Amino acid sequence: MRSGISKTLLGAIVVILIIIIAAAAFMMMKPSGGEEKVVKVGVILPLSGKLAETGADLKRGIEFAVEQINAQGGIKSLGGAKIVLVYGDSAGKPETGAAEAERLITEEKVVAIIGAYQSAVSKTVSEVCERYKVPMLNPDSTSPTLTARGYKWFFRTTPHDETFAKQHVEFVKWLNKKFGNQIKTVAIIHEDTEWGTATANAWKKYFTEAGFKVVKVVSYHAATVTSLDSEVESLKAANPDLLLAASYVSDAILLVQTMKQKDFNPKAVLAQDAGFINPSYVKQVGKDGFYIFSREVFNWDLIEKIPKLKQVNDAYKAKYGVDLNGNSARDYTGVWVLYYALEEAGKKAKPSDLEAFRKAIRDALANINIPGSELIMPWKGVKFGPDGQNMLGQGIVVQMMDDGKYHTVYPEDFATAQPVFPMPKWSERG
């Protein structure tokens, strides 16, 4: 009996030893430089706070791009290294974003940073990246000031608000030509951070230069606003033909609800993207959002206009249950731009020499030239100027129709629908 038990134990020990030896042998056979099989990229987004839902939307676009890149073999110039995302939560606060950037750079040793949605947060994050000489790829912040600071490590793929404001003027002139010169006066409402203020300044400048009269400008603090009653009442008293709005998601919802409550009826509302295209906004405002125009950089109905879009959007919708939108599509595109830079950087340096590899990424971004045919965006491509701004981007204008979806109405070569103008008054709606 004892002899049998001993043999059983001895056999088990032998099996365990064989497994240990085999595992050790497998580890010894792994190619050297195994640490370079992963490339850590930092991502800073508002993952908590008022913009958490927007942050989640952006995060989906980023992760979907990384999933595709890794599935197709990773970074080939680095032997198939996979991109690993390391997140920092700005909570929508510039100082928190800056602290997260420093943590990702000094502790996580990321090779680059993507982010950070809000212009005010991107401003502080980019300051940290510039100080540490870490490339920052910014897919979605639109304050013109971000690329006017002489930075060498900051690159923005999206057009900025100066570009958008000029296009808004062109669009309104087009509306006037098409519908009989009905827009002469303009009012502006905007949140008061870096983004909203810069947007308002660009609107005032370009609409005034174009001969429109700006009759009212109203600002508010998005982080604490719980009512827009007095703001909307002052706008209504100014009686503008056109209302220009720069709001994040919760305040965009509040603005539309208050306009209806106060029976404020401009002939058109033209929003600066952001909260107005967020899925939460679309869901919560419902039919009250019908006929509002918004600046966009992307829209679902461009499938027939952009060759790559249908395949990407179909796969994205199958995974997440929603179409790509301006937020997720911009960040998806930003990751691919960084990927192309990583491929080029891998030919010049390795992540094991972190300082050299970060510089190689920066140099690759500075010299990148991606044709529009490689993108899902309605852009001519991606090519950065000396200031780090993509020179080949452009915007579109969309309008929410009575099917609850935004349709592209401008420019005409991308349009899939005719605009509804003027927008029906609240009392005329069903």
User: Residues 319-359: pLDDT tens digits?
Assistant: 999 889 889 999 999 999 999 999 999 999 999 999 999 99
* CATH number for position 68: 3.40.50.2300
pLDDT at 304: 82
Which runs of consecutive H residues, i.e. helices, occur in 346-382? 354-366
Do both 145 and 198 map to the same domain?
Answer: no
Residue 32 has pLDDT above 70, yes or no: no
Instruction: Give residue-wise pLDDT tens across range 214-241.
Output: 999 999 998 888 999 999 999 999 999 9
User: Is residue 8 in some structural domain?
Assistant: no
Do both 51 and 155 map to the same domain?
Answer: yes
The tokens describing 379, both together, are: 């852009």
Do both 173 and 274 map to the same domain?
Answer: yes
User: Is residue 15 in some structural domain?
Assistant: no
Q: What is the DSSP letter of 50?
A: T
Least confident of 16-20, 75-79, 390-394: 16-20
pLDDT at 8: 53
For the question of whether the overall pTM of this predicted structure is more than 0.85, the answer is no
Do both 268 and 172 map to the same domain?
Answer: yes
Question: CA-to-CA distance for 340 and 369, rounded, in angstroms?
Answer: 10
pLDDT at 311: 94
Higher pLDDT, 29 or 399: 399
Residue 394 has pLDDT above 50, yes or no: yes
User: Is residue 45 in some structural domain?
Assistant: yes
Residue 82 has pLDDT above 80, yes or no: yes
Question: CA-to-CA distance for 19 and 13, rounded, in angstroms?
Answer: 10
Higher pLDDT, 122 or 22: 122
pLDDT band at residue 253 under the 50/70/90 scheme:
very high
Higher pLDDT, 25 or 56: 56
- Please list, residue by residue across 14-23, b when 16 or more beta carbons sit within 10 angstroms of its beta carbon and e when fewer do: eeeeeeeeee
User: Is residue 323 in some structural domain?
Assistant: yes
Contacts of 389 (CB under 8 A, 6+ apart): 147, 156, 160
Residue 261 has pLDDT above 70, yes or no: yes
Q: Residue 120: is the preceding peptide bond cis (ω within 30°)?
A: no
pLDDT at 23: 44
Query: Any bridge partners for residue 399, and if so which?
Result: 293, 407
How many domains are contained in the chain? Answer: 2
Q: How far is CA 294 from the centre of its chain?
A: 15
Of 275, 266, 272, 221, the closest CA to residue 248 belongs to 275
Question: CA-to-CA distance for 112 and 416, rounded, in angstroms?
Answer: 38
Q: Give the pLDDT mean for 358-384.
A: 96
Do both 197 and 249 map to the same domain?
Answer: yes
User: Is residue 348 in some structural domain?
Assistant: yes
**Packing angle between helix 194-209 and helix 119-132, nearest 10 degrees?**
110
Do both 206 and 270 map to the same domain?
Answer: yes
Q: What is the DSSP letter of 239?
A: -
Residue 18 has pLDDT above 90, yes or no: no
pLDDT at 222: 83
Do both 324 and 358 map to the same domain?
Answer: yes
Do both 260 and 399 map to the same domain?
Answer: yes
Residue 36 has pLDDT above 50, yes or no: no
Question: CA-to-CA distance for 422 and 149, rounded, in angstroms?
Answer: 40
Do both 99 and 187 map to the same domain?
Answer: no
Do both 41 and 105 map to the same domain?
Answer: yes
- Please list, residue by residue across 357-372, b when 16 or more beta carbons sit within 10 angstroms of its beta carbon and e when fewer do: bbbbbbbbbbebebeb
pLDDT band at residue 29 under the 50/70/90 scheme:
very low
Count CA within 13 A, CB hemisphere, residue 262: 21
Residue 40 burial by Cβ neighbours in a 10 Å radius (0-12, 13-18, 19+)? middle
Phi-psi region of 6 (alpha: psi -120 to 50; beta: other; left: phi over 0): alpha
User: Is residue 64 in some structural domain?
Assistant: yes
Do both 169 and 195 map to the same domain?
Answer: yes
Do both 260 and 400 map to the same domain?
Answer: yes
Instruction: Give residue-wise pLDDT tens across range 118-151.
Output: 999 999 999 999 999 999 999 999 888 999 999 9
For residue 370, the SS3 value is: strand
Q: How far is CA 93 from the centre of its chain?
A: 17
User: Is residue 116 in some structural domain?
Assistant: yes
User: Is residue 199 in some structural domain?
Assistant: yes
pLDDT at 3: 43
- Print the domain residue range for 341: 34-159+305-382
Residue matched to tokens 């197709």: 72
Average pLDDT, the chain: 91
pLDDT at 224: 87
